[in-house]
Chain A
Amino acid sequence: MNLYEFCRGLIHWLVDLINNLWYWLGDVLPWWFGDFFDAVGDFAASRGHISVMAIGLEVLIIVIVALINVLNFIWIDRKLSGRIFDFYGPYYVGYRIGGWLQNLADGIKLFVKEIIVPAKADKFGFMLAPIIFVGSSFLALATIPLSPHFGVATNESGHGVSAGVIIAFAFFAIAPFSILIAGWSSNNKYTLIGGMRSAAQMMSYEIPMLLCVASVFLLAGSFSFFGVVDAQHDVWFAIPLFLGFVVFLVCLVAEIEVQPFDLPEAEAELVEGWTTEYCGMRFGLFMMTSYLRGYIGGALVTALFLGGWQGPWFIPDEIWFLIKAYAVFFVIEWARWSLPRVRVDQILDVGWKRLMPLAVLNLMIAVALKTLGWF
């Protein structure tokens, strides 16, 4: 039973329960009311209505699971940076669970803060940027299944969307566009430079990243997460495509904009880059979503290169997938807190002159492996 079937069964049961009462009401009321009640009840019990409701419930469950993961990620980030920097990290709020509630406390603080819009800002763009940023990131998240049973992309036949990975990357790549909008509409020179940097960085890192994904597609022979993961049954793609794995990881760090490549929000020179003018919950949404993108990145690496949910039988598939995603996030954070920030021209140099040829070489390796018939 997958998540969709579970939700469908739950909704079916609920509708049956309510319809019992509903039809009884239709029986006791006069005939013209009764017809109306019967029609509504039939609609509620119809196949289409139950499917839509089931999908809505499914999305709700997936978003809640993702948000809990994001809270975990922020907590891991703080604790890990504390360990690296020789201090404890948060531990007062939620003392018995290692300061885990600190994130919730910070969220409440951000919620009650005033939202200030600069007088000369472009109000519409200023409001639109967080919506696009958060929305596109959640859409990318929704396409990623944690297991064959847990994911929005599983339909009734259980095979999933046939181009799931491509859709995930398409949504994932929208974010720099909203960053550019945020930088421009804030009417501030620092945010403008941050937005421009983000656009330049996206252009130079998206291409090698997608070339690595193309090599995975080539070996797997499928565009869907299920096909890609099934193809890694014997050996993880990180082993034959080690080069692509490394290039993908570096590009991912640039794409989710964390430390060595966090030029768009470089704190020392651009104050906070494109988030300078945002405050209150809008800033909170930006920050939460950047961790959400870290989660998406970890999940993508896991699904494409680390064998997805395939692992020992005694660990549930979903937990095994999350363990791998957390491990990838751990590596990203480790690099984040121990490397200085690179310069904007250097990051473009690395993107075009180093990663791009390596990605092409990786694609050639994939073609050779496929041609030799080893995959």
Chain B
Amino acid sequence: MAEMWINMGPQHPMTHGLWNLRIKVDGETITDAEPEVGYLHRGIEKLCEDRTYTQIIPITDRLCYGSSLTWSHLYCLTVEDLMGIEVPKRAEYIRVAAIEMQRIASHLMWLAAYGADLGLMAGFIYCMRDREVFIDILQALTGSRITYNFPRIGGVAHDVPSNFDRDALRACTYMERRLKEYEEMFDRSKVFMMRNEDVGVLRRTDAMNLGVTGPPLRGSGVRYDLRKDMPYSVYPEFEFEPATHPDCDCYARYRVRMDEMWQSCRIIRQAVQKMPKGKWRILAPRNAPEGTGVGRVEDPRGEGVMYVVGDGTDKPYRLKIRSPIFVTVSAAPKMLIGYKVADVVAIMGSLDMCIGETDR
């Protein structure tokens, strides 16, 4: 059978968004692959140049539908670096608790999509159901469900609601019970292991050379987590262990995300229990000084970087966003070549594509 190119996308059940993966197949075996992104380009970086610093926060929320809180948090970190603002301790703790909840919700959405990709519809429904628990707490905290618009330059929008600590602890207990059930459902399923083990191998050196970050990098056995290696916010005050796995395949990436959910539950518990009293927001100046600010966070999908240039007015001169998935997807040919067409969904699904932040 002759080789042919197949467009998987822009609209295809595998893509979870709007991007195109062109693969060259010989029968069922992939011989070449070429990811194409850019279908969802909204010009967010340019939009930001025309708005004041406060007005940009809701725009950065729109970067990723899966974890909008980490991106607005990253933006606030960057601008605080530019303005030289010290954020109150209580605000930092609220931010960390909210971000770790967002991380669990994001990973659960990934697991749901991964289950649907592999044909395990039960996984899809269960994960989406458990995601609701964290979405509900975040809704009580921020007032909305997907795009929260919660962090502010110099703190957070408002204090935690009453009973927040009780709800958060209950949610963590519930989640840990559910995680055990997921591990029974996925890890002990022979068919799931057949689809994941030794599929989409991304070697350690390849991963580092291509600039892959986040769970795909840690799944290749590299212990690189910005929360530990280059701590921001109040992460040094928490006890947790970055999840790594040495196998380099889809199963390793799945395992890393599951372990991260365990670690996030640990962090939420500590953040809620150690939360200090005090102010949760200080007023930030309207105009930023001339200069630059940089922020780096560990997004659920990898390393997010923002770079802002201030020119003394109330609008940024330039805002650069480094998206983790935009870089990670360039490793697709390395992972895909030599595997079958059916493995495309497992391999690309294990990267957790989010097109909003990729195309910006």
* A contacts, CB < 8 Å to B: 81, 84-87, 189-190, 193, 197, 259-260, 262-263, 266-271, 337-346
Given contacts A86-B129, A260-B191, A271-B13, contact A341 B118 (CB under 8 A): yes
Kindly list chain A residues whose C-beta atoms are within 8 Å of the C-beta of B86. Answer: none
Kindly list chain A residues whose C-beta atoms are within 8 Å of the C-beta of B6. Answer: 189-190
Kindly list chain A residues whose C-beta atoms are within 8 Å of the C-beta of B125. Answer: 85-87
Kindly list chain A residues whose C-beta atoms are within 8 Å of the C-beta of B49. Answer: none
Contact partner of B191 (CB less than 8 A), chosen from A190, A339, A344, is: A339
Whether the pair A342, B195 counts as a contact (CB closer than 8 A) is: yes
Given contacts A87-B125, A260-B191, contact A344 B340 (CB under 8 A): yes
* B contacts, CB < 8 Å to A: 4, 6, 8, 12-14, 28, 115-122, 125-126, 129, 189, 191-192, 194-195, 340-345
Q: Complex Cα distance A339/B118, Å?
A: 9
Q: How far is the CB of B110 from chain A (nearest CB, A)?
A: 15
Q: Complex Cα distance A231/B145, Å?
A: 64
Kindly list chain B residues whose C-beta atoms are within 8 Å of the C-beta of A340. Answer: 115, 118-120, 189, 191-192, 195
Given contacts A86-B125, A268-B345, A340-B192, contact A345 B119 (CB under 8 A): no
Given contacts A81-B121, A86-B125, A193-B341, contact A268 B116 (CB under 8 A): yes
Q: Which residue of A lies closest to B341 (CB)?
A: A269
Whether the pair A259, B119 counts as a contact (CB closer than 8 A) is: yes
Whether the pair B119, A189 counts as a contact (CB closer than 8 A) is: no
Whether the pair A343, B342 counts as a contact (CB closer than 8 A) is: yes
Q: How far is the CB of A240 from chain B (nearest CB, A)?
A: 28
Q: Complex Cα distance A334/B118, Å?
A: 17
Q: Which residue of B lies closest to A190 (CB)?
A: B6
Q: Complex Cα distance A259/B189, Å?
A: 15
Kindly list chain A residues whose C-beta atoms are within 8 Å of the C-beta of B119. Answer: 259-260, 262, 266-268, 339-341
Q: How far is the CB of B344 from chain A (nearest CB, A)?
A: 6
Contact partner of A85 (CB less than 8 A), chosen from B121, B192, B194, B344, is: B121
Q: Complex Cα distance A268/B120, Å?
A: 11
Kindly list chain B residues whose C-beta atoms are within 8 Å of the C-beta of A190. Answer: 6
Given contacts A342-B194, A345-B28, contact A337 B122 (CB under 8 A): yes
Q: How far is the CB of B77 from chain A (nearest CB, A)?
A: 37
Q: Which of A81, A270, A340 has the most CB of B within 10 A?
A: A340
Given contacts A85-B121, A259-B119, A271-B12, contact A346 B189 (CB under 8 A): no
Q: Complex Cα distance A84/B124, Å?
A: 12
- 25 contacts across the A-B interface (CB closer than 8 A): A86-B126, A260-B191, A266-B119, A266-B342, A267-B119, A268-B13, A268-B119, A268-B345, A269-B8, A269-B14, A269-B341, A269-B345, A270-B341, A337-B121, A339-B119, A340-B115, A340-B118, A340-B191, A341-B191, A342-B191, A342-B195, A343-B194, A343-B195, A343-B343, A344-B341
Q: How far is the CB of B56 from chain A (nearest CB, A)?
A: 37
Q: Complex Cα distance A224/B341, Å?
A: 43
Q: Complex Cα distance A268/B14, Å?
A: 6
Q: Complex Cα distance A340/B343, Å?
A: 13
Kindly list chain A residues whose C-beta atoms are within 8 Å of the C-beta of B13. Answer: 267-269, 271
Q: How far is the CB of B125 from chain A (nearest CB, A)?
A: 4
Kindly list chain B residues whose C-beta atoms are within 8 Å of the C-beta of A189. Answer: 4, 6
Q: How far is the CB of B14 from chain A (nearest CB, A)?
A: 6
Kindly list chain A residues whose C-beta atoms are within 8 Å of the C-beta of B195. Answer: 340-343
Kindly list chain A residues whose C-beta atoms are within 8 Å of the C-beta of B340. Answer: 343-345
Q: Which residue of A lies closest to B1 (CB)?
A: A196
Kindly list chain B residues whose C-beta atoms are within 8 Å of the C-beta of A197. Answer: 28
Kindly list chain A residues whose C-beta atoms are within 8 Å of the C-beta of B14. Answer: 268-269
Kindly list chain A residues whose C-beta atoms are within 8 Å of the C-beta of B191. Answer: 260, 339-342
